[in-house]
């Protein structure tokens, strides 16, 4: 299994990881579907989360927290496979 994280002992690993989430447009936009991409990139041996979107409207901060928690869970699942 290919794991997320830094290579160790010559193994192949996933160094960048991205998830694109989609939702219907909000009532103030005529754009149709809205997308937000959350990715993780390795920069100088440290991982950063990067958010990219043209428009992502929320009316409750918990919606954004839910997205970030989902993304973190997906990375954690990959990190946890290192010990299996």
Q: How many domains is the chain partitioned into structurally?
A: 1
What does DSSP assign to residue 81?
G
Q: Mean pLDDT over residues 44-52, rounded? A: 85
The share of the chain scoring above pLDDT 90, in percent, equals: 37
Distance CA 84, CA 82 (A): 6
Distance CA 79, CA 52 (A): 23
Distance CA 42, CA 82 (A): 17
Answering whether pTM is above 0.75, one says no
Q: Mean pLDDT over residues 23-52, rounded? A: 84
pLDDT of residue 78: 54
Q: List CB contacts of 47: < 8 A, sequence separation 6 or more.
A: 40, 41
Residue 17: give the domain boundaries.
3-83
What does DSSP assign to residue 26?
P
């Amino acid at each position: 299994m290919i794991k997320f994280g830094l290579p160790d002992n010559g193994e192949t690993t996933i160094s960048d990881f991205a998830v694109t989430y989609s939702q219907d447009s909000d009532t103030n936009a005529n754009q149709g579907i809205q997308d937000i991409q959350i990715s993780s990139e390795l920069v100088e041996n440290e991982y950063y989360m990067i958010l990219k979107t043209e428009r992502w409207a929320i009316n409750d901060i918990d919606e954004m927290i839910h997205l970030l928690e989902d993304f973190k869970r997906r990375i954690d699942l990959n990190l946890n496979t290192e010990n299996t």
